């Protein structure tokens, strides 16, 4: 994800798998977010995608998917259940 930024369609698919919006894929605790301080609430989905394209480190990580479901961030218990 850091070397090849996903397309808007791919981000939408990932967000759908996680049951969140593209905006919720932004890690508001990351240094990149804190330095740029974007107003996500005022941004369109396209603008958020452009922000992610320029700063892929702003995405919540890690992202783990099996093609149907997506886990975001490191939530140890969820990962244990996911890989069983």
More confident residue, 75 or 60: 60
Q: Which residues contact 79 (CB under 8 A, 6 or more apart)?
A: 64, 71
Q: How far from the centroid of its chain's Cα atoms is residue 3's Cα?
A: 15
The average confidence (pLDDT) of the chain is 89
In angstroms, rounded to a whole number, what is the distance separating the alpha carbons of residues 71 and 18? Answer: 6
In angstroms, rounded to a whole number, what is the distance separating the alpha carbons of residues 78 and 49? Answer: 27
Could you read off the pLDDT of 5-34 as tens digits, one per residue?
Answer: 889 999 999 999 999 999 999 999 999 999
pLDDT of residue 73: 85
Could you read off the pLDDT of 40-70 as tens digits, one per residue?
Answer: 999 999 999 999 999 999 999 998 888 888 8
Topology of the domain covering 8-83? Glutaredoxin (3.40.30)
In angstroms, rounded to a whole number, what is the distance separating the alpha carbons of residues 46 and 16? Answer: 16
């Amino acid at each position: 994800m850091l070397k090849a930024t996903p397309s808007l369609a791919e981000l939408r698919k990932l967000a759908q798998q996680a049951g969140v919006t593209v905006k919720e894929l932004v890690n508001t605790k990351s240094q990149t977010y804190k330095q740029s301080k974007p107003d996500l609430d005022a941004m369109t989905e396209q603008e958020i995608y452009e922000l992610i394209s320029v700063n892929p480190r702003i995405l919540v990580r890690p992202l783990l998917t099996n093609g149907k479901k997506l886990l975001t961030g490191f939530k140890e218990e969820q990962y244990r259940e996911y890989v069983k």
